[in-house]
Structure 1
């Protein structure tokens, strides 16, 4: 088991004392009065053992049944914001590890699991091609898999050039070039052919350590590659894919990075909680650095490029205003779970949704739509709704406070379980509790 898996698994044992201390800490900034902060709407269950809508052929060998916990390590939206692909890492020291690719249909207004594809190891990275016709995954089985991007999501191609865990797969903005990198310190490039599949074209040189992340510039197509030894390497995105520049990020090991939507900024995060902002077109000396409250697990720019979201190992997601450049911590996402790492952050292309991957996927509206004040149980496609009231006592380090959570468990044929939390119900229950006391 590699170091990354050990760190992720050990983080599951974080004390609830840390959670309550964090909960008492107020953010130094706040969303402006005219802005509606992100609204938590529902969660998506990522249990790989749940039924799927699309039947599959009988496998030649029955894959092992995944055991928990299940972690959403990577999330990708298709171009129409109707599908979510999720790379899952399941298991623990006592039961072994497995992986799964889950594909959900979001278009009906509730999540519906369409396809579940088992893997022998964690699925670390997922991405859709820009036109939505291909879905690519990479994982700790050292393989890159190419699937149809539409139903029935058949596997079309397996690229086996990798020699150690594939940590990242990414496709350029016109869908012609695929990059895959991992622990063997190499980044391999694959060019799309006339059959809409991929042919190997080159292994990029100059690696100093194993590859942590990679991303194509959204405008000029250059490829940025981050390794664990503090280096970001820039390559041309066209033949012969020339190595253009090295940028040293002073500090600690790089864990994640991302371009903003127009490519003017490149953000990196290291294992010492430092966020570094670079010029995205001509990276060099940092434009700005600031420190996150906790060790970083994921970062992402919003679709407008005005905010940088930083997920940490305790599951919190901090929102920073970056236009104009500043380190203003605006707010935190509404927190709905115990302290588990926020492994993945992904915005939908239509700008409506933010998905946060932990041991579930938390879905937030980020387009100004407020959370519903009544249970989301009136959708015509929902056949059975069971409302249960769950009383949970949360220690706040000074006194125990009863909090009532309304959980809507929706049973649908071949679909995932949706859990919605009603803010109205929470407030009502709290007031009722005060009156009864």
Structure 2
């Protein structure tokens, strides 16, 4: 009926297999060499409580049935087995396991959201970020977020605010590259009535508006040098002087800054002040590019798929296997922002419940995993064993059209192991 089955003649071998394989249901006889089926059921129930176990026996007494259920069995079938009844029991058990898995993932998502907001990912690169965010929670230190454009710096800034003791205060974000210098000074520091032609009334700047909360200075590397001097003065004195005023106004806000530029190189080029750099860069978090986050790509893609399907009121529920291979093999120069755009397009164009390769942009649809290049004889050109494994996995996925089951068979691993490696490797 389309199930992939693995079988064993001993409970010991079966338990060993459960450690290395993704299993939806276990079907066991009561009588086996060594450990009995009921003992196996009890061990599975203790170690792998989410995996349902169906117990079969030729001795269909009430006592045996009760013993099986007490051992943690999901169902109990007597022999000779009626195949239709077995099929129904198997499907019910599989549905139950998948439902439990969905509930678990939803629970994890909710718990994660409580701590890290809309940040998605469980790769090792992101686990490092989560650890750093947790350490920042109790401090009021200035933070500099670095990384390529589209890596989610504002999401991380919001998470820092949400987890801090200032979370009851406002979170105010400003893009330093979006406004000319004259307007930016008024926006940040405020202005007095009559300070310029349209200043008909006094206005508080964002530093003061962020009182008791967090001010997020995005693209701080784009500030012109004169504005950098004024910002440095404000951060050192913890006061701002509104445009057109002689009065100093104190502020109490945590400063989180972000840039996709190399500020140390900018200091060398005399386009960014070194003293301002050390003022905003007390703690630096470098956000990884999407291509370095392995299986997070699929997690984020599925999140966007569900989000846009709901917004567009479309029944699009999953990514096709060939789509997964294309997404994993692409470099994502635009990072999460580009992936969001791709998934919005795919959901909008999709005519099926499953997103297909035809729904992807040409640059991704026509992408193929690169040839495996191991380097030449020069030691400086040679690659690590980890990188060699990554390239070979992508090569096999490309050759199988993204069929993970077939790829796992060629690689000599189970699907669970392959999925884990895809999540771990970039």
Q: TM-score, structure 2 length as denominator?
A: 0.24
Larger Rg: 2
Q: TM-score, structure 1 length as denominator?
A: 0.24
Q: Which has the higher strand share?
A: 1
Q: Which has the higher helix share?
A: 2
